[in-house]
Amino acid sequence: MNPEPETPTSRSLPAVSSRGARLLLVAALILVGINLRPAISSVAAILAAIRAGTGMSSAQAGILTTLPVMCFGLFAPLAPRLTARATPERIVLIGLLALAVGLIARIFFGVPGLFAGSVVAGGSIGVIMVLLPGIIKRDFPQRLGLMTGLYTMALCLGAALAAGATVPVQHLAGDSWRIALAFWALPALLAAWAWWPQLRQPAHRAASGRFRVHGMYRSGLAWQVTFFMGLQSSLAYCVFGWLPTMLIDRGMDPLTAGLGLSLSIGMQLVTSLAGPWLAMRGRDQRASIALMLFLTVIGLLGCLYAPLASAWLWIVLLGLGQGGNFSIGLTLIVLRAPNPQTTAELSGMAQGIGYVLAAFGPFLVGILHDATGGWHGAAVLFTAISAAALLAGWRAGRNVHVQARVEMLD
């Protein structure tokens, strides 16, 4: 891939200089990334126990599992605006502390506390996720693929850890679902502690400045990146919410179906790291986007229609495809923007609108399943979303930049 053109804005933003500071930032980024999914997967793992303990209805449970994803999108556009008041590093730290507060708040005040805590946690994650690609763009301009892959891998690892460890924590805590949920505030506080040194880089951080980006929402390329991000995320949350149920309906026992979902998430670790590396090997990212979407749709349809004895093959392919989709989606945000400020604005747009779109995917799957009594309607939906994602990704994968103007405020 051709080197990214240097702009006056990008020249004014030096990367982390010392090797020690760089390694500390890498470790902090990974720890932060690990904390950006347990708010969702910890609830999914013990949802039955939560419902039994609170008397929550099926409709309320559905809203609870969708609410954090919706908040990702609703709060994400705030992130670039907040940088007019504080540095990205300070906002990330505040976001981690707010995340810990939200995770703890979910165990108090019954069902209202669950919903209020989920809003705080989801909103905090939405803001943090927008800012991290800009930090990666600024501090690792020569290692965009590697750092985006590590960050995405950390996201997948966090989801897998919470999905697999929440139930054992619940058992160790005397079958208390409240302690199992509150437990995930501890790694959030650990990440905040690891992130704290990033605030003590005055010369480097002062170079960031305050800014405003104009013209992003008039850019066709920005909308293409946004739709790709939203559509592939919609597929991911459909799988996260419905894959075990699909496999159970086909005759798999519940424990094995849960292991199937865990395996799918685990396989995402492979392509979350390899996906950005692969995407940056060619002239653009279109071929890698097509490959990952192909693996995703083939894996999904195989889980629905192939002989059940071969389900593990399709689960593996599905996980590989989805890990690559997400990591390449984040890579597009970094590559399609010419400087860190534009990256932050594009990140807010793509993840803000994208996650709102993604939240409707699992909801539509449920409606189609209830209406048809089977999974054929969902299969048509999966195929249509994949086709639309390929169309958006084919345009977003071109080696061009969004046209937007950065106004420095100080």
> Would you state the pLDDT for residue 17?
54
The closest of 24, 292, 264, 299 to 159, measured between CA atoms, is 264
Query: What's the rounded Cα separation, in Å, for the pair 273 and 150?
Result: 6
Q: Would you state the pLDDT for residue 11?
A: 39
Residue 406: per-residue pLDDT: 63
pLDDT in tens, 279-310: 878 788 999 999 999 999 999 999 999 999 99
Residue (of 281, 5, 30, 18) closest to 135 by Cα position: 30
Please name every residue paired with 111 in a beta bridge, in sequence order, or none if there are none. Answer: none
Q: Which of 21, 36, 32, 282 is nearest to 145 (CA)?
A: 282
* pLDDT per residue of the chain (410 residues) written in tens, 0 to 9: 434 433 433 434 444 557 777 888 889 999 999 999 888 888 877 777 888 888 877 667 777 877 888 888 888 888 877 877 888 899 999 999 999 999 999 988 888 899 999 999 999 998 998 888 878 878 887 777 788 788 888 888 888 888 778 888 888 998 898 999 999 999 999 999 999 988 876 544 444 556 677 778 888 999 999 999 999 999 988 887 788 878 888 888 877 877 788 788 888 888 888 888 888 787 889 999 999 999 999 999 999 999 999 999 999 999 999 999 988 998 898 888 887 778 878 888 888 888 888 888 887 887 888 788 888 998 999 999 999 999 999 999 999 988 877 666 56
Single-letter code of the amino acid located at 352: G
C-alpha distances in Å from residue 338, one per residue of 16, 139, 345, 390 = 19, 14, 11, 24
Amino acid occupying residue 408: M
- pLDDT confidence of residue 34: 93
Nearest to 362 by CA among 242, 250, 249: 242
For residue 143, what pLDDT is reported?
A: 79
CB hemisphere CA count around 144 (13 angstroms): 27
Which pLDDT score is estimated for 132? 87
Rounded Cα distance between 178 and 94, Å, is: 24
Please give the single-letter amino acid code of residue 195. Answer: W
DSSP per-residue codes, 317-346: HHHHHHHHHHHHHHHHHHHS-SSHHHHHHH
Contact 80, 345 (CB under 8 A): yes
Q: The pTM is what?
A: 0.77
Which residue segments constitute the domains of the chain, with CATH numbers given? 20-403 (1.20.1250.20)
| H-only helix segments in 216-253 | 220-249
The per-residue pLDDT for 357 is: 87
Element (H, E) at 77: none
Candidates 400, 366, 338, 389; CA nearest to 137 is 338
Whether the CB-CB separation of 213 and 370 falls below 8 Å is answered with: no
